[in-house]
Structure 1
Amino acid sequence: MRRVLVAEDDPQLLRALDASLRAQHYMVTTAPDGDTALRLVSRRPPDALILDLELPGMAGMDLLHGIRARSPLPIIALSEHTDPATTVRVLDAGADDHLTKPFALEELGARLRAALRRPPVLEQREAVDIASWRVDLGAYLIARRSGEGEAPRLTATEWRLLTLLLRNPGRLITGRQLLRDVWGPGCEDRTNYLRIYLAGLRRKLEPEPARPRHLITVPGLGYRFEP
């Protein structure tokens, strides 16, 4: 049985989420605040996390960064902000998906199933160089090739997307293939996902994100990694 941690301080919503997830045969654990959520993830990472970004205590973006530093588990973030800029910030901070309140429990269930059926990030250990970074795809680690500096942190979805590109240097991969392989069947038309996530990867890895040298868009066709 898959284990889902729900970090939510609204008692009514928490009861609804708990009942809905248990009816879908998930084992549910709850956290009323950010500190508890972080402690539970550190102690025993769940299979997925549903995280309200307006929890008491730790700021939502800090909490996302803190959890992502400990685990690559799928994170579905919840907030009351509907503007696209917030979604971009939430994804950049470490979430794999973002739902705005109020939302349908059925939609949350579908997004959770999609996150959990995505394949593991990698099945073998290998390292690839991109710009000034060495990316160890198997260990989920990024390190600067020379010198010092804090390495970027990637979400589980970013790892899957980057892995597909880096393991196929110079090869064009269509947008539909990336969407199917990373997000699953039925997501082939959600091209906005690729725009958001590729922009995030470029901000984290490219020296000049506005003029990418390695993560290349081929308009109307797809994307490729140029070593």
Structure 2
Amino acid sequence: MLKVNNLRFSYRESTANVFDNLNIKFDKGFNVILGPNGAGKSTLVKAIFGLLDYQGDIYYGHKNISKMKICEKIELMSYLPQMDLDISSLTVLEMVLLGRLPELGHKVSDEDLNIVMETLKALNINRLATNKFNQLSGGQKKIVFIAQTLVRNPEIILLDEPTNSLDLQKQLELCQLLRRIIKDRKIDIIVVLHDINLAARYADHIVIITSDGEYYDSGSAKDVITEKMLREVYGVIGRVTLDEENKPVISAKRSIRDS
């Protein structure tokens, strides 16, 4: 689906590269990027969206994203970064309309409004259309942001820590929603997550990056989430078992520094 070839990047204030000839391949469906703090997970999705000046090439199928104009990238992808959830007093309808900015003219068209309302209805938040965004719960705000990414009908959605600040129920509901979007809209999603158990439960394909920004492994949760990986990538001694659905369940015991 999406391939990262020989990616090199460093922030100007740093002499060390975040990535040095990084090669990764993502699959169709629900992709999760895992790795410890400082591995470069957020940096990777920013590079994919074209927000960073990197070396290397990123392909979506036969399309070289690295050589696309910004308007072409915006048509292909939507990106939802980590952000302050209390940033706006606009209504939900107005917030989601902002996602149509590349198509909006001087006047909001009936087509724009129909697309927004259909998206809100599909996500079961149409009843919130006239509510103020800053009065919503954290979970509702996350869904509004996802609606904002969907109204452009992208082929890929990039999400950076979308479950951050959500309670366990809302985390599960959000991941279930993402799986439904993938199925109903035939969209591919790449998500940065910290929760390994959440990734194991919902991901079709997992990519693991080390603390040095290097590729470690990729594949299904059962293949890549192992006790060896926990020790080598996260520095954690833990147990990995399979539940009744053949999904890995991680029980962390201690840091390897406590051994």
The TM-score normalised by the length of structure 2 is 0.29
Greater Rg by CA: 2
Higher strand share: 2
The TM-score normalised by the length of structure 1 is 0.32
Task: Point out which structure has higher relative CO (alpha carbons under 8 A, 6+ apart).
Answer: 2
